[in-house]
């Protein structure tokens, strides 16, 4: 991580970074230019906007009642098999209208934005039938077009096996019906989908079904970015490396061979410290992955099971529970998360030519963003996307910087 003191940054009207470097050099370079807005960041820190590489933000029906069950000792799979978990949310999401889903989704994205996220990966996956999956993807598309926050859209129709179907039947339905329709809507420009995701897990989609769906998604031009090795070792990491996956999420139960394969294939590991924390699972082996040269990214896994909007809290958990350093956690929530979404050429760092997505925090030390657990409400001073101030926090004006 490069740390520049006494620096300035210039974003052009096209939303891209034009210069970053010592303030006096930039002052001379742009002495003739006029600026729409100048922000004095004396005593403050400028950071790249945070990138949340894994979320499930479109759904109806929260699962607050299940939180109590989990605290009393029920496992994720016990709740799932009793018709709770994903199935509970699917039932509510199928009933909700597109407008209802959009209204709550919009509010969730705004909360993510205020916590410093400027680009968010958003999955479908609470439909499990073509009609509802498309409804969710249309909701994501609407936000992509109407909101400032950046969105990477993921089709996750294979999030669970729908009631009344076997995994093989669900796989056939996705390959024969869902993906051709998605291809058609992509070509007509109605819906932009970036990634394909499958929940590769014992009792959900096995390795062979996962392979078939991911390959079919890759064939219509989607990046592979899937859930693997979460509750049981499934050899998901090995499969992902073989298929040329861009990223694999979870990996709590990944094998040593899987880690080596991901490093070789330059396949990113999207680690989700909230999930292991919430479900009291064993933590993903972040240190081993980093030592083996895997590109490690972070996500909030925001969903009804892990209700967390805040990448600063995710970074804090990554440092404490997964033993990452603060530098590693910041890189994982910026440039590496951008890489996991196939956007590291335009996002994730403060470099000339990249999109002007940044945070200004009310502290002379950037580490405060991680050190303060849940303190981002009074620490993030500005959130800027494409050079435009999309959130300004008045609280920071009345508080001296930390």
pLDDT, one tens digit per residue, over 254-283 is: 999 999 999 999 999 999 999 999 989 999
Question: What value does the mean pLDDT of the chain take?
Answer: 96
The Cα diameter of the chain in Å comes to 69
Spatial distance between the Cα atoms of 317 and 323, rounded to a whole number of angstroms: 9
Question: Given this model, what pLDDT does residue 208 score?
Answer: 97
Tell me the CATH number of domain 50-341, given options 3.30.365.10, 3.10.180.10, 3.20.20.140, 3.40.250.10: 3.20.20.140
Looking up tokens 């502290």, which residue turns up? 363
138 has a pLDDT exceeding 90: yes
195 has a pLDDT exceeding 90: yes
Of 244, 246, 268, 243, residue with least CA distance to 254: 268
Architecture per CATH, 7-47+349-392: Roll (2.30)
pLDDT, one tens digit per residue, over 233-256 is: 999 999 999 999 999 999 999 999
Q: Which residue has the higher pLDDT, 100 or 399?
A: 100
Question: Given this model, what pLDDT does residue 343 score?
Answer: 98
Of 319, 240, 241, residue with least CA distance to 286: 319
Contact 133, 126 (CB under 8 A): no
- Given pLDDT bands bounded at 50, 70 and 90, which one contains residue 322? very high
- Burial grade of 249 (CB within 10 A; 0-12, 13-18, 19 or more): buried
Cα–chain-centroid distance for residue 321?
A: 19
Tokens of 84: 């709770």
Question: Given this model, what pLDDT does residue 136 score?
Answer: 98
Average pLDDT, integer, range 152-171: 97
Question: Given this model, what pLDDT does residue 397 score?
Answer: 78
Question: Given this model, what pLDDT does residue 277 score?
Answer: 95
Spatial distance between the Cα atoms of 238 and 360, rounded to a whole number of angstroms: 40
- Tell me where in the chain the CATH 2.30.40.10 domain(s) lie: 7-47+349-392
Question: Given this model, what pLDDT does residue 1 score?
Answer: 59
Average pLDDT, integer, range 108-130: 98
22 Cβ contact partners less than 8 Å away, ≥ 6 residues apart: 4, 6, 7, 8
- Tell me where in the chain the CATH 3.20.20.140 domain(s) lie: 50-341
- Parallel, antiparallel, or unpaired for β 50-52 and 117-123? parallel
Answer positive or negative: Cα dihedral of 335, 59, 283, 218.
negative
Q: Is 64 helix (H, G, I), strand (E, B) or coil?
A: helix
């Amino acid at each position: 991580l490069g740390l520049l003191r006494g620096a300035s940054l210039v974003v052009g009207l096209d939303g891209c970074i034009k210069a970053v470097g010592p303030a006096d050099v930039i002052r001379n370079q742009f002495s003739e230019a006029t600026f729409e807005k100048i922000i004095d960041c004396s005593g403050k820190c400028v950071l790249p906007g945070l990138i949340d590489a894994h979320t499930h933000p479109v759904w109806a029906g929260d699962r607050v009642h299940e939180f109590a069950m989990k605290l009393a000792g029920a496992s994720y799979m016990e709740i799932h098999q009793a018709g709770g978990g994903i199935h509970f949310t699917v039932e509510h999401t199928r009933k909700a209208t597109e407008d209802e889903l959009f209204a709550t989704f919009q509010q969730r994205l705004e909360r993510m934005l205020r916590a410093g996220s400027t680009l968010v990966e958003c999955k479908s996956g609470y439909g499990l039938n073509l009609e509802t999956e498309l409804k969710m993807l249309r909701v994501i598309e609407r936000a992509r077009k109407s909101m400032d926050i950046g969105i990477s859209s993921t089709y996750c129709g294979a999030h669970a096996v729908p009631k009344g179907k076997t995994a093989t039947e669900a796989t056939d339905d996705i390959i024969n019906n869902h993906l051709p329709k998605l291809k058609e809507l992509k070509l007509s420009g109605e819906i932009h989908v970036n990634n394909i995701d499958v929940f590769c897990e014992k009792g959900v989609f096995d390795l062979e079904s996962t392979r078939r769906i991911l390959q079919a998604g890759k064939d219509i031009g989607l990046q592979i970015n899937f859930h693997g090795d979460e509750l049981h070792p499934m050899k998901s990491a090995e499969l992902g490396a073989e298929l040329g996956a861009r990223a694999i999420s979870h990996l709590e139960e990944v094998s040593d061979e899987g880690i080596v394969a991901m490093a070789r294939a330059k396949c990113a590991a999207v680690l989700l410290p909230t999930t292991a924390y919430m479900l009291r699972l064993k933590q993903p082996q972040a240190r081993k992955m980093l030592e083996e040269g895997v590109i490690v990214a972070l996500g909030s896994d925001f969903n009804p099971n892990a209700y967390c909007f805040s990448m600063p809290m995710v970074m804090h958990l990554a440092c404490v529970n997964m033993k990452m350093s603060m530098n590693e956690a910041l890189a994982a929530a910026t440039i590496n998360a951008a890489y996991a979404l196939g956007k590291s050429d335009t996002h994730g760092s403060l470099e000339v030519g990249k999109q002007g997505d940044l945070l200004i925090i009310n502290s002379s030390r950037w580490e405060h963003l991680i050190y303060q657990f849940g303190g981002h409400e009074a620490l993030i001073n500005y959130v800027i996307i494409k050079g435009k101030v999309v959130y300004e926090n008045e609280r920071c004006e009345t508080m001296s910087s930390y």
